[in-house]
Chain A
């Protein structure tokens, strides 16, 4: 158990819908990262938040957005869902960004299926 929790574990929804994925980082970690794992794209970085502020952005679609709340949990919002959004979404957390010794701890993931 990495200490990073994600809910829900599984999500099945229809095209055009909107879903919210939730992540709670390890105790004391200020940074949260979101990654998408799909068969065709592999593991791709989406976005990073540090202490409530967006720090880095990857290949995140405009239909997707995220935020980190004052209690440091993060939510990833996916809207106007398409079949191709079906994937495993991982959250990771780390203590402090910028450190050369930064290690990310991954949560169990949320498997999203869009029908």
Chain B
């Protein structure tokens, strides 16, 4: 079955530190990949998405992700985090035969001033 893995469950950083959150997917065919963010008490918001083309995807709030097909990875990066980036981050893959999203377990990011 298709799956998405996020290896970092909890990440703690100081403001201005660089961020990289890992995401690996299992499906070897054409993939649609997403990163969502969930701020405390809020709904899921789309940070960025990859469908095809340039493997380096830029999203909102200074986030970017790189699709590396050979590694089945779609890691999220930000060069300098802010306290306001404290949230839970979910990587997701669209199911190859339906529209459902398959989510990773999420990474909780805490940024301290």
Closest to B41 in A: A108
Our pick among B30, B42, B46, B99 for the contact of A55 (Cβ within 8 Å) is B99
B10 smallest CB distance to A (angstroms) = 14
Residues of A with C-beta under 8 A to B45: 2, 106
Question: Are A108 and B98 touching (Cβ within 8 A)?
Answer: no
- Tally A-B pairs: CB < 8 A: 57
**Given A2-B43, A43-B90, A107-B43, do A33 and B100 touch, yes or no (CB 8 Å)?**
yes
Q: Size range of the interface on A?
A: 20 to 34
The reply to whether A108 and B103 contact each other, CB–CB distance below 8 Å, is no
Q: How far is the CA of A100 from the CA of B51 in the complex (A)?
A: 7
What chain A residues lie within 8 Å of B99 (beta carbons)?
31, 33, 48, 55-56, 94, 97-98, 102, 104
Q: Are A56 and B43 in contact (CB under 8 A)?
A: no
Chain A residue nearest to B30 (CB atoms) is A100
In the complex, what's the smallest C-beta–C-beta distance from A81 to chain B, in angstroms?
Answer: 23
Chain A contacts with B in 96-112, Cβ cutoff 8 A: 97-98, 100-109
Give Cα distance in the complex from A27 to B43, angstroms.
Answer: 18
CA–CA, A90 to B46, complex, Å? 14
Q: Are B43 and A45 in touch, CB under 8 angstroms?
A: no
Q: Is the CB of A56 within 8 A of B105?
A: no
A16 within 8 A of B: no
- Whether the pair A100, B32 counts as a contact (CB closer than 8 A) is yes
Query: A8: CB under 8 A from chain B?
Result: no
C-alpha gap A45/B100 in the complex (Å): 7
List A contacts of B11 (CB < 8 A): none
Q: With a CB–CB cut-off of 8 A, which chain B residues contact A84? A: none
B103 near A42 (CB under 8 angstroms)? yes
**Residues of chain A from 9 to 55 with CB closer than 8 A to chain B in the complex:** 31, 33, 35, 42-45, 48, 55
Closest 5 CB pairs of A and B: A43-B103, A45-B100, A106-B44, A56-B98, A108-B43
Q: Pull 5 A–B residue pairs with CB atoms less than 8 Å apart, ordered by A.
A: A31-B99, A58-B100, A100-B32, A103-B49, A104-B99
Spell out A's residues near B (CB within 8 Å): 2, 4, 31, 33, 35, 42-45, 48, 55-56, 58, 90, 92, 94, 97-98, 100-109
